[in-house]
Amino acid sequence: MDKRYSANLTWEPFLWYEMRIVADLLKQWLDKKEIKEKIINENIFQYKTTKSIAKRLSCIFRRLNSLDEYLLDRLSIWDIDDSKIISLYAIYKDSFLVYDFLNEFIKDKIELRQLYISDSEIMSFLNSKAREHIEMNEWTENTLKKIKQILKNILIWAWIIESKKIHQPVLSYSLKQHISDNLDNNFIISLWF
């Protein structure tokens, strides 16, 4: 990435369903071109049109690139709880903004036992980041609002927040250990209390 923060989240939401499909196709030893053709020809994503598939696939491949074989395998076959956390981890590794959001904002709220999250707090976080990262000055107010909504929706989809309350995610011990021991202990620390 050229810039530390990117507004790509505005068109790159959680994509859990799509990421699981692509992870499964990768396990079948299909290459990226074959996966794209299969998804378009068979309408596997079940999109109304195929216009956004190439853009979404680019994002999905980039995210899945951050996963090792263990996580890629578990994303496609494990239970919903683990696969959603693996998807969140892939986004966390792909987006510096999500990385900072989890490591700074969510982790701080958990450490302070302030387990409720408001839209205004998320906007305050984004505004403080805009003072630190000049590339955010190019973003419109609507872009910031959309990113705020996407950040919140990512946490809702990953079952981290529900009704504005932060919850400790449910995931298997083996997955938690794998991420902690082999990949990124900060991810585990930012979400577990």
Q: How far apart are the C-alpha atoms of 169 and 160, rounded to whole Å?
A: 6
For residue 44, give Cα distances in angstroms to 25, 35, 77: 11, 10, 17
What is the per-residue pLDDT for 137?
87
Q: How far apart are the C-alpha atoms of 43 and 45, rounded to whole Å?
A: 6
What is the per-residue pLDDT for 92?
93
What is the per-residue pLDDT for 193?
55
Q: How far apart are the C-alpha atoms of 80 and 160, rounded to whole Å?
A: 13
Element containing residue 161 per DSSP (H, E): strand 161-162
Phi, psi for residue 161 in degrees, rounded to 5? -125, 145
What is the per-residue pLDDT for 83?
92
Question: pLDDT tens digits, the chain, 193 residues: what are they?
Answer: 345 788 888 888 899 999 999 999 999 988 999 999 999 999 899 888 888 898 899 999 999 999 999 999 999 886 888 999 999 999 999 999 999 999 999 999 988 899 999 999 999 999 999 998 888 988 999 999 999 999 999 999 998 898 899 988 878 888 888 888 877 778 877 776 5
Contact 133, 2 (CB under 8 A): no
Going by C-beta distance under 8 Å and a sequence separation of 6 or more, which residues neighbour residue 80? none
In order of their start, the domains of the chain are: 7-191 (1.10.3540.10)
The predicted model scores a pTM of 0.89
What is the per-residue pLDDT for 42?
92
What is the per-residue pLDDT for 101?
94
